[in-house]
Amino acid sequence: MNSYPHLFSPISIGQTTVKNRVFMPPISTNLAKKGYVTDELVAHYSARAKGGVGLIVTEVTTVEPTYIYLPGDMSICDDSYIPGWKKLTDAVHQYGAKIMPQLFHPAYMAFPIPGTPRLIAPSHVGPYYAKEAPRPVTKEELKVIIRQFGEAANRVKQAGGDGVEIHAAHAHGLLGGFLSPLYNKRTDEYGGDLNGRLRLTLEVIAEVRKTCGDDFIIDVRISGDEYTDGGQNLNDGIYVAKQLEKAGVDFIHISGGTTIMRGSSIPAPGTPMGSHVKLSQEIKQHISIPVATVGRITEPWLAEELIANQKTDICMMGRANLCDPEFVSKAQSGREREIRPCIGCLRCLNGIMFGKRIACTVNPSLELENEDTIKEAEEKKKILVIGGGPAGMEAAFAAKKRGHHVVLCEKEDSLGGLMRLASVPIAKQDLVRVIQYMAYKLEQAGVEVRLNCTVTKELLMQEFSDYQVIAGTGASSIAIPELTKFKQWMTADDILAGKAFPGRKVVVVGGGSVGCETADYLAPLVNDKFLRNREIIVLEMADGVMLQESGPGRSLLVQRMQKKGVELICKAKVERVDSDHIYYQKDGKECCISDADTLVFALGYQSDSQIESLLKECNVCYQIIGDAKKVGNIKDAVTAGYLAAKEI
């Protein structure tokens, strides 16, 4: 029985029928090489096609050779790229999926590779990213660029592609910049009112249609609303959609926000799923061609609801299919519990701007060999995994998949390790789904899990004497002994675990992720000066808070703290305390907080070294993984567990 009849029904796009309503939107991978399709890129997209996606829009694909968006992005700026694209389209088509690139001119968003000429833009405006003001592109140059879009689309058609997406959203790149009043200050026919700003996109559409014919899909990605003062609003979005339909576009990919307003276009973890659906719902009422919505649609029930309730015709599901290439087939066959859950953390994109390949916190491998294709071990062994955090759970699962006999021992009464505490702060609730998913995997794989089981010397010397050990016993919170003289102190973990309860004026020492998330958790939801509201101060030695993080999650967390009245004091080093006072240095002066009732340590973690001493004493073969070896994030832990099992 199909639990999602709307989601898995076919849809007509122009003259093409797509088998279902799950489309994959563009997500940069950095898997191309000098713009050319690689075998790894083919494997990446064909895995999603095999998993059941109806249509794939690839990552940014540049139409001309001068300006590079990302070092590992794709191109189709001349005929030499056609053979690689043919290999890609053939690989995707064998599974019944459709594929089309997102055609893009980066303009003022181009990567500043040495030798790149001065960047171009609609106007001189460019203070958000550019190191110097870009120069306005000339009308003669626009004629060349329009032709380049048409030629690029024609190469896609020659390579067997089903169409192209034209990127004009997010005040991003040349077309998005021309469409947005934030960037377009021109006074010629390509600027001024909305018709002028839309003109370039319409001319590109006309060129592509003339070059490629009516049987070639053209979709345009727009921001239905830029959510920004001075930007486009929903009224503009409705009008633009109507003009695109008149121009012969086959469907419209409706996003929202801009790249310069962090968290508006790519939603942060913990924010509502279906972040731009209000835009697609409204615009859908005014046009007859299909509309697609996008933005943190990570669960099949939601995608089904959005289509069934006529809020959209198509769900663009990027991170869900990145996290689990079998997302569609698992949902369609009623295996929802087996879907690897996307937590919206955006680790997938964190390193992209620095030339790193795409990655995923929950999926330890996006390579040719991964969790689903891991090879059986030639020699089967007995494996003891100590610790049921993310590193230990992943190691146990991967080792079992390789054919080993695996026992996992966890000293607590449930699995998850520090991930259970990490799920407590605001906007972190999706981590609970990861714990559930990983525990279910262990159950399905047949791993023996022993809870409330502390591994002792006796166990190692007797029952597990012939076992190889993988130890992922995690890490513990750091507390500075000299500062524990304060009348009430606790760690952030104590609070998140419910082991300690702070008072009304709380000083958090440490402005990293844990400190800020704990401050956010403790602060009043409404900063209304209610007498029982807590007062929170964060003291951080560095120049700013959460300097190791980037992206919309960090941005929204900092915004929330400030709205709630959390006082963020940076460049502040706590020097000493007594029972009632906290003294810190800032700008060469000693400052004192005399009315706080609670001191909270959020100074990071230290690895647990006790287990290694025990394993050495028992003379067993072992590996230390995750935080027990080196403190890191969830992605580090999961990857370490996977790699440890691969090596046995």
Confidence of residue 368 (pLDDT cuts 50, 70, 90): low
Beta-carbon contacts of residue 187 (< 8 Å; ≥ 6 apart): none
| 408-457 residue pLDDT tens | 999 999 999 999 999 999 999 999 999 999 999 999 999 999 999 999 99
pLDDT score of 258: 85
Please state, in angstroms and rounded to a whole number, the distance separating the CA atoms of residues 56 and 329. Answer: 15
pLDDT at residue 272 tops 90? no
Q: What separation, in Å, do the N-terminal and C-terminal C-alpha atoms of the chain show?
A: 41
Please state, in angstroms and rounded to a whole number, the distance separating the CA atoms of residues 233 and 257. Answer: 10
When pLDDT is averaged across residues 82-111 and rounded to a whole number, the result is 96
Confidence of residue 133 (pLDDT cuts 50, 70, 90): confident
Token digits for 82? Answer: 């056609």
Whole-number mean pLDDT of the chain?
94
- Percent pLDDT > 70 in the chain is 98
- Closest Cα to residue 17, out of 97, 85, 88, 100? 97
Confidence of residue 616 (pLDDT cuts 50, 70, 90): very high
Q: What is the distance, to the nearest Å, from the Cα of residue 192 to the centroid of all Cα atoms in its chain?
A: 36
Asked whether the beta carbons of 47 and 358 are under 8 A apart, the reply is no
Residue found under tokens 């590193």:
391
Confidence of residue 112 (pLDDT cuts 50, 70, 90): confident
pLDDT score of 126: 64
Please state, in angstroms and rounded to a whole number, the distance separating the CA atoms of residues 426 and 500. Answer: 18
| 14-59 residue pLDDT tens | 999 999 999 999 999 999 999 999 999 999 999 999 999 999 999 9
State the Cα torsion 102-105-107-112 to the nearest 10°.
80
Confidence of residue 388 (pLDDT cuts 50, 70, 90): very high
Asked whether the beta carbons of 381 and 408 are under 8 A apart, the reply is no
Q: Is 468 helix (H, G, I), strand (E, B) or coil?
A: strand
When pLDDT is averaged across residues 518-533 and rounded to a whole number, the result is 93
Can you list the alpha helix ranges (DSSP code H) found in 192-296? 194-212, 234-246, 277-284
CA atoms within 13 A on the CB side of 458: 2
Side-by-side strand order, sheet with 405-409:
448-450, 405-409, 382-386, 468-471, 622-624
599's enclosing H/E stretch is strand 598-601
Please state, in angstroms and rounded to a whole number, the distance separating the CA atoms of residues 40 and 62. Answer: 19
Asked whether the beta carbons of 572 and 539 are under 8 A apart, the reply is yes
Q: What is the distance, to the nearest Å, from the Cα of residue 617 to the centroid of all Cα atoms in its chain?
A: 43
| 567-607 residue pLDDT tens | 999 999 999 999 999 999 999 999 999 999 999 999 999 99
CB atoms inside a 10 Å sphere around CB 216: 22
pLDDT score of 119: 92
Give residue 262's identity as a one-letter amino acid code. R
pLDDT at residue 130 tops 70? no
Asked whether the beta carbons of 167 and 104 are under 8 A apart, the reply is yes
Identify the burial level of 246 via C-beta atoms within 10 angstroms of its C-beta, where 0-12 means exposed, 13-18 middle and 19 or more buried. Answer: exposed
Confidence of residue 231 (pLDDT cuts 50, 70, 90): very high
pLDDT score of 495: 98
Going from the C-alpha of 372 to that of each of 223, 398, 441, the distances in angstroms are 36, 9, 12
490's enclosing H/E stretch is strand 489-491
Give residue 299's identity as a one-letter amino acid code. E
Going from the C-alpha of 201 to that of each of 139, 176, 219, 533, 560, the distances in angstroms are 14, 9, 12, 52, 37
What DSSP designation does 295 have? S
Phi, psi of 26 (to 5 degrees): -65, 130
433's enclosing H/E stretch is helix 431-445
Residue found under tokens 């959005």:
306
Q: Which residues pair with 39 in a beta bridge?
A: none
Can you list the alpha helix ranges (DSSP code H) found in 4-117? 39-50, 82-93
For the whole model, what pTM was predicted? 0.93
Asked whether the beta carbons of 273 and 240 are under 8 A apart, the reply is no
Please state, in angstroms and rounded to a whole number, the distance separating the CA atoms of residues 540 and 532. Answer: 26
b/e 39-56 (16+ beta carbons within 10 angstroms → b): eebbebbbbbbbbbbbbb
410 vs 555, which has greater pLDDT? 410
Please state, in angstroms and rounded to a whole number, the distance separating the CA atoms of residues 222 and 254. Answer: 5
| 489-499 residue pLDDT tens | 999 999 999 99
